[in-house]
Structure 1
């Protein structure tokens, strides 16, 4: 079936001498993977490899067979041109990290318009702002809402956060109960938005520790989730 949809590029891997395998999160069909034959050598084709940089927002026309196989991409054009995401080194490192998280976290070949809009608005915010040291932290925390394991914060004044159940509680009941500074940071980020998150004060050690906590939370709630390989690059950039 031929379909026109918005799409966010999650990865583009070279295959053979001239082909690309592109994975995208689409508004209409969830995660889709496309084989783009000859795109790395063709100068006359409609599709250019430069269109498929990480987390680029496109409008595509594609044939979806919905059989779990590689799909066919007929047309693509940039829907939103970033000002800095692909030229700023720090933001580029963050893009690598976020794209890897999204590849690990989102598997469904079905539409989730709320999730798509969240990704779109988040990337646009990142593109236009300069104080971004905490962006990946609040991005990951808010993403849990759309993935189905958002922390339940109606009792956020309690002494522990139970990562297994996603709730705040008065006593420690397992090894995954958070307390101390990470608990304070969690409460601050839960009540923040992208604009106010920059005012949450973390040093590099605290930022790395809280990020590792969030990634563990993902591992506990998403089967097969792996800590991103690009994490080391991100930590090095912020160091």
Structure 2
């Protein structure tokens, strides 16, 4: 079996049999890939590896490519980023669950996408390190992710603009017949697209505004990618934030 080294972000896991699991990763070497991990639920030997495969955990690994195009396996796997807060902060772990599910539902390509991967990898580090602005992180993530999925805003924002979801353009003249983000949400989208992650605490949104903008972004994503409707962690996210 051919071996290769890579980095990956955990998107989803499925139990397989009594002691094994299938792990879906976003990888730097091959986009989205699935791996069979045997004995991970065992109380002996490699049972402790289960802790590695949590949503949005970053891994470094040596993979084994199956000659029969079945799921790959790990020869070695270890943590790629030492996480100091994300596993223990319910707000951050909720955001991580949402991010992982969004990526799992929307990213299907099995080809390398360096820009997307490096963005997601950096998001893990940023979320773990941040002290202020956690409540806005998922909104910033959705706004920035749209750039890598091909439907980010295509023109400059001006004060008072609405946002045409279908065309992906800011506009002064909202059309009644198409999906639009009203002025407040268009302004928030503009701010998030241009905001550095360490300044998210400066964007003042209350709970009502945050939920309203999230729903607007889900409409935006839903118009371009139907799979967003399958994301179940939205409800948990709205309860926490």
- State TM-score, norm by structure 2: 0.91
SS in 2 for 1:35: strand
Match of 1:234 among 231, 234, 237: 237
Measure, in 2, the Cα distance between the counterparts of 1:98 and 1:197: 17
Measure, in 2, the Cα distance between the counterparts of 1:157 and 1:169: 10
Structure 2, unaligned runs of 5 or more: none
Once superposed, what is the RMSD of the aligned Cα atoms?
A: 2.0
Between structures 1 and 2, the one with greater helix share = 2
**CA distance 1:2–1:42, change in 2 (3 Å):** farther
**CA distance 1:103–1:47, change in 2 (3 Å):** same
Q: Which residue of 2 aligns with 1:71?
A: 72
Q: Which residue of 1 aligns with 2:8?
A: 7
Measure, in 1, the Cα distance between the counterparts of 2:147 and 2:227: 19
Measure, in 2, the Cα distance between the counterparts of 1:93 and 1:48: 22
Shift of 1:66: 8.8
Structure 1, unaligned runs of 5 or more: none
**Comparing 187-196 with 52-61, which one deviates more in the overlay?**
187-196
Shift of 1:224: 2.7
CA deviations on 1:162-214 (whole Å, 9 max, x unpaired) are: 11111112322333122232122222222222122221111101100101111
Output aligned runs, 1:139-218, within 5 Å.
Answer: 139-157=141-159, 159-173=161-175, 174-218=177-221
Q: Which residue of 2 aligns with 1:130?
A: 131
SS in 2 for 1:143: helix
**Comparing 52-61 with 34-43, which one deviates more in the overlay?**
34-43
Measure, in 1, the Cα distance between the counterparts of 2:87 and 2:9: 14
1:101 aligns with 2:102: yes
**CA distance 1:152–1:91, change in 2 (3 Å):** same
Q: Which residue of 2 aligns with 1:49?
A: 50
CA deviations on 1:86-115 (whole Å, 9 max, x unpaired) are: 111111111111111111121110101111
CA deviations on 1:9-29 (whole Å, 9 max, x unpaired) are: 111222221111100011010
Measure, in 2, the Cα distance between the counterparts of 1:147 and 1:180: 24
**CA distance 1:113–1:169, change in 2 (3 Å):** same
